[in-house]
Amino acid sequence: MITLYHCDAARSFRPLWMLEEMGLPYELKMLPFPPRVFAKDYLALNPLGTIPFMIDGETRMTESSGICHYLGIKYGPTPLMVGPEDPAYGAFLNWMYFSDATLTFPQTLVLRYTQLEPEERRNPQVATDYAKWFLGRLRAVEAATATAETLCAGRFTAADIVIGYALRLASNIGLAKDFGPNVAAYWARLQQREGFKRAVAAEQKAGQAQNVAPRVRA
């Protein structure tokens, strides 16, 4: 059984959504955010103290987009993956890496300096600068969705899951108001997927059952 450690609305939502899209059985363990502060015993399991943390037999993984890739390859075949024989393979891999390295990174600084730091350490200038960085990088998604419903390969793939989470995080930290029209429409489509809805419901149900309150969002 796959075990996924998750915080409400954290980047561990990527593998949770992937699991739901693939219909794989899993156990969801909810933690308060950030777990390295509020669940110190978790450090014995994952010394980084980060989310996600996935256990699958002897496999241990901490990178959200990498976990999605792993699930698709190990438990496929699935149309969520794009293989090297497909002309869209390069684009698919680029989106998978772009999702965290380029899009989510500046968002974490916005979140940190608007919500997570103590009041005296919050920094509106840093938050504003990195919000602009994120929105600048989002131009790639705006361009890709100008003439297509999804990012690559002519279908919904894991690339849409990992980029879609960045859009969810943007919504939670108050950046969705600055989405371009194509990104806004794309994000609306993603939220209508049954797999996305199931993942949100699983997150809420597990949080309630395990008595882990959702974190405050912008």
Distance CA 60, CA 71 (A): 12
Beta strands in the chain (DSSP E): 2-6, 26-30, 53-56, 59-61
Say what the pLDDT of residue 34 is.
84
* Residue 203 scores a pLDDT above 80: yes
Query: pLDDT at position 118, please?
Result: 87
From residue 53, give the alpha-carbon distance in Å to each of 69, 117, 136: 14, 23, 30
Chain segment 110-159, per-residue pLDDT in tens: 999 998 888 899 999 999 999 999 999 999 999 999 999 999 999 999 99
Q: Residue 216's pLDDT is what?
A: 53
Give me the helix-helix angle, 194-209 and 181-191, nearest 10°: 60
Q: Is the peptide bond before 34 cis (omega within 30 degrees of 0)?
A: yes
Q: What is the mean pLDDT of the chain?
A: 95
Contact by Cβ (8 Å): 52, 15: yes
Contacts of residue 203, Cβ cutoff 8 Å, sequence gap at least 6: 6, 8, 9, 13, 16, 28, 30
Does position 218 have pLDDT exceeding 50, yes or no? no
The β-bridge relationship of strands 26-30 and 2-6 is parallel
pLDDT in tens, 54-98: 999 999 999 999 999 999 999 999 999 999 999 999 999 999 999
pLDDT, tens digit (0-9, with 9 covering 90-100), for 27-56: 999 999 988 888 899 999 999 999 999 999
Q: Over 70: is that where the pLDDT of 171 sits?
A: yes
Q: Global pTM?
A: 0.95
* CA torsion through residues 55, 169, 201, 34, sign: positive
